[in-house]
Structure 1
């Protein structure tokens, strides 16, 4: 996959779909990479030019050893659009990708068309939780976090019936650069978009997972309530709802984007 230099830093970026179609930009969760969207690509790429990338701190993209911010992650997305001469995109982000989507919708709304915010939150405390996670990963790497993370990300029933998908995500998470993960944990720790998103005037779909302990339905409901006209969809899934309910997720997003 091509590594592009964006503002002097390497980013792993991939396109799928015909070049003359509207662009749908995808942003991964904390601890995954652009392959988290694999189940959606075939269907979405038949309608859109799908642009996905490894977020800063993840996969093969830049992972400097310092705290990041949601504003920096959002600016990365704008810089990627600028690099390819793309004026406007549809946006779909899950978890951290949804946090970046909120920042973009608030601060760079002219660059977005329709916005999907999945399994995400506008604020995620307390700081001590994130500080503890940062200390742990800096001292011990990703391995100690794998199992508890999988238990938050997937329901018990899904972990038992689709071990192949769980194994792929386990490998993805374990391969995340520890310093990049820590940098993104700092971005989430310091984020509070609860008031700012009330200014968003774009069409927004908020997707929640009924079984999601990481960003519970109430977190998504708060976002939908703050953004005028936002739609809300609930899936029978935990945190990575696009993997636990791939068909339902793919359809919900496609129906919204084609509305």
Structure 2
């Protein structure tokens, strides 16, 4: 296990350098998960790209900050991690809130971003009321109280079978996240709005979403793509909010095709 101390505490990360790499891919995880959601694409791409993945603040093994933690602080964490690893430019692939962190880095430090892969995310996710209700429920009843509702947003009915060990593992991963970290990240999403700023993104960008995503649906991700100049959009059939887990081969093929076309 590798940890890096930032100005806000330790981040748990993995760095897999590749000789003769086409570039460096950085993966940023979603709300209620840790960096293991990227296992499949990392395994498929690490022979061609250097890889960085990390548990965003207050998730997985990264340390907690017992105070409000806005999106700007999540972006700062990513900047400090790249600086510590001496990575001057990277391809940032973020899922859900990870996609908002990726967008934020592209706005605040465009020279550090070579391309963006924005997965199941948006320029503005949900409403203030939605996130306030989510925060209240977590604080009053814990994460287990919303388990089934979250899993319905994350995965298709076909995937959500008790006989599927990967699904059982994802349920355990969600339930073992820290409720305070989860609610603080909900607040960061609540307060972030990149509706105007997305037009400033100038790097090659792919927006991708599962067709059964109930958290950030196809219409939202298409709207995000429409607001980013010269971006591409891809729809993954029979997948929910986390296609890198539910449809890893298709997800990885889409990423590979985009990178080969736009960065060659």
TM range (shorter): over 0.9
| Secondary structure at the counterpart of residue 160 of structure 2 | helix
- Using the size of structure 2 for normalisation, the TM-score is 0.94
- Please give the per-residue CA displacement for 1:204-234, whole angstroms capped at 9, x wherever unaligned: 0000111111101111111111111000000
For the aligned residues, what is the CA RMSD? 1.4
Structure 2 residue aligned with 1:217:
218
Cα distance, 1:258 vs structure 2: 2.2
Say yes or no: does 1:15 pair with 2:9. no
Structure 1 residue aligned with 2:241:
239
Q: Runs of 4+ in structure 1 displaced over 6 angstroms?
A: none
Structure 1 residue aligned with 2:67:
66
Cα distance, 1:65 vs structure 2: 2.2
Cα 1:209–1:162, aligned 2, differ >3 Å: closer, same or farther? farther
State the distance in 1 between where 2:208 and 2:6 align. 30
Contact residue 8 and residue 65 of structure 2 kept, 8 A: no
Contact residue 117 and residue 208 of structure 2 kept, 8 A: yes
Cα 1:65–1:130, aligned 2, differ >3 Å: closer, same or farther? same
**Between 126-135 and 190-199, the greater mean CA deviation after superposition:** 126-135
Q: Structure 2, unaligned stretches of length 5 or more? A: none
Contact residue 16 and residue 51 of structure 1 kept, 8 A: yes
- Using the size of structure 1 for normalisation, the TM-score is 0.96
State the distance in 1 between where 2:205 and 2:93 align. 10
Structure 2 residue aligned with 1:140:
141
State the distance in 2 between where 1:181 and 1:8 align. 17
Contact residue 161 and residue 167 of structure 2 kept, 8 A: no
State the distance in 1 between where 2:223 and 2:17 align. 34
Cα distance, 1:19 vs structure 2: 5.3
Equivalences, count: 259
